[in-house]
Structures are given as structure tokens and as C-alpha cells.
Amino acid sequence: MNLEQKIKKLAEYINKSSNIVFFGGAGVSTESGIPDFRSSSGLYNNQEYDEPPETMLSRTYFFENTDKFYDFYKNKMLYPSAQPNDAHKILAQLEQAGKLQAVITQNVDNLHGLAGSKNVIELHGSANKNICLNCKQFYDVNYIINSKQTPLCKNCDGLIKPDVVLYEEQLDEQTVSSAINYISGADMLIVGGTSLAVYPAAHYISYFFHDGKQEKKSAIINKSGTSYDDMFDININEAGIGIVLSKAYDLLF
């Protein structure tokens, strides 16, 4: 199938489904100006810092090199001016139409929420939530950005930590359980903007395929191939996810 045929088939599947789950990664937000991780221009190929991002975004590094952690984090992970793109908006509209039941995201940028999605499961937390490790006071992302030095609690001077899952940390069990339940019960799974290379999060999509029901449909939209591609009914890598979802939505409404 060519691109237009794939988009038409995607629209047909969406039209026949009422329990769609979307599972997304960094590629969903690249059209909003937020770099991904593993492409040639992505975060992991940046040479600006001496240590690799996997080190600087680890729990150990946060506590042992807090100043350097925040220098990297504020410079490379926070994009306060970013706005939802067509992919975020269409997903929110599909939820409002009663088609989409949940967005499960590996991103921490809160763009799905800004676009209007209500049921967003953030596997890796949210950069918009930050917590004092001492008194548990919460702070928004602007407090972090506007802190000239390491962010400290204005109530108790305690260290503030972003409420995101760092390397060496476990995903929240309740969040994982909720994501798996939605994926297992979906009648359609749309995966977008992810290489499905981050574990254990990427493994969760296998729960959709466990029972092998023929009436369940699936689509993956990503600019590069993944090791899961053969499992999906539709594989789209000829265009960005915002374009694909917008064209499919136009065929529906």
C-alpha cells in the first residue's frame, strides 16, 4: 500500500473502533520543536557535555552532581514555549469523540494535557511536577526554570527533584498497571513516534497481541523501523505522525 492507502485504512480502523489506545514516544513531540533522543540530531548524539545523557539523567548523578544535573536538565529537557502539534490535537479530538480511551506516553512534556487530552498516562512522569524531597511541597516547571541555581524549596530549603523517572529508578507500579490494563483491553492500538527501544515501557505493547483476536486492529507510525513492525496491521513511516493523524481524521469527520 502507498501512503494514501495506508491512511485510508487507518481511518477505516478508527471508524470501526471504540476502545482505542495510543502509545507514544519522543517522535510525537518533535513537530513541536522538542528533539527526540536517538536520531542524528537527537539528545543522545549531543556533544555539548562531557558525560552522556544516560549518566547525567541518572538518580546517582542527580544526588552526586546536582548542579550539573540541573544545568543539563534545564538546557536540554525543558521546552516551556513548546505547543501541542497536530498529533496531540487530533488525539484529544478522538478522545472527545469517544473513540480514544487513553494516551500512554513516554514523554514528560505535558503536551497531551495541554492539547486537551484528559486520560493521559505518563509512564516517565511529568516535567511540570517537581517535589521537595523534604516537605513534599510541589512546584511547577516555571519554578525550576526561574531558579538561578539548584532549585530549593521556599518553605524548608529542601532539595527539589523533578517528578520524572530517572535512569536507575523504577516506573511507578500503579501507572504501569493502568497502562497494561488499557493496552490489554483495547480493540485498536496506535503506536506513534517511538522506536520501541526503551524498556520496560516498550514491552507493554505486547499485552495487546497476547490473545491474537482477529477483530483487534493495530497501527504503528514512526519514521524509522522497529523490531515490532511485523506485528502491526499498518506500518507507516512515509510521513510524520501529525500529518498522518490529521489526514485520517479528515476522512472520518
The answer to whether the beta carbons of residues 202 and 196 sit under 8 Å apart is: yes
The answer to whether the beta carbons of residues 182 and 160 sit under 8 Å apart is: no
Residue 211 has pLDDT above 80, yes or no: no
pLDDT at 41: 58
Residue 140 neighbours by CB under 8 Å, 6+ apart: 128, 129, 130
Residue 129 amino acid letter: K
The answer to whether the beta carbons of residues 82 and 32 sit under 8 Å apart is: yes
C-alpha cell at 89: 490535537
Q: What class has domain 43-79+131-164?
A: alpha beta
Please state which architecture CATH assigns to domain 3-34+84-124+171-252: 3-Layer(aba) Sandwich (3.40)
User: Using one digit for the tens of pLDDT, what is the confidence trace for 223-242?
Assistant: 988 989 999 999 999 999 99
Residue 40 has pLDDT above 60, yes or no: no
Residue ranges, comma separated, of all CATH 3.40.50.1220 domains in the chain are: 3-34+84-124+171-252
43: nearest Cα among 140, 108, 90: 108
Query: In this predicted model, which residue has the larger pLDDT, 61 or 50?
Result: 61
Q: Read off the pLDDT of each residue in 154-172 and give the average, rounded to a whole number.
A: 97
pLDDT at 42: 63
User: Using one digit for the tens of pLDDT, what is the confidence trace for 169-188?
Assistant: 999 999 999 999 999 999 99
Residue ranges, comma separated, of all CATH 3.30.1600.10 domains in the chain are: 43-79+131-164
Report d(CA 122, CA 18) in Å as an integer: 22
User: Using one digit for the tens of pLDDT, what is the confidence trace for 90-133?
Assistant: 999 999 999 999 999 999 999 999 999 999 999 999 999 999 99
Residue 147 has pLDDT above 60, yes or no: yes
pTM, two decimal places: 0.93
Residue 44 has pLDDT above 80, yes or no: no
Which residues are known to be catalytic?
Answer: 124
In this structure, the number of other CB atoms found within 10 A of the CB of residue 59 comes to: 14
How high is the mean pLDDT of the chain? 93
pLDDT band of 212, cuts 50, 70, 90: low
The bridge status of strand 125-132 relative to strand 188-192 is: unpaired
Q: Read off the pLDDT of each residue in 54-77 and give the average, rounded to a whole number.
A: 96
Residue 189 has pLDDT above 90, yes or no: yes
Instruction: Please classify residue 236 by burial: count the beta carbons closer than 10 Å to its beta carbon, then call 0-12 exposed, 13-18 middle and 19+ buried.
Output: buried
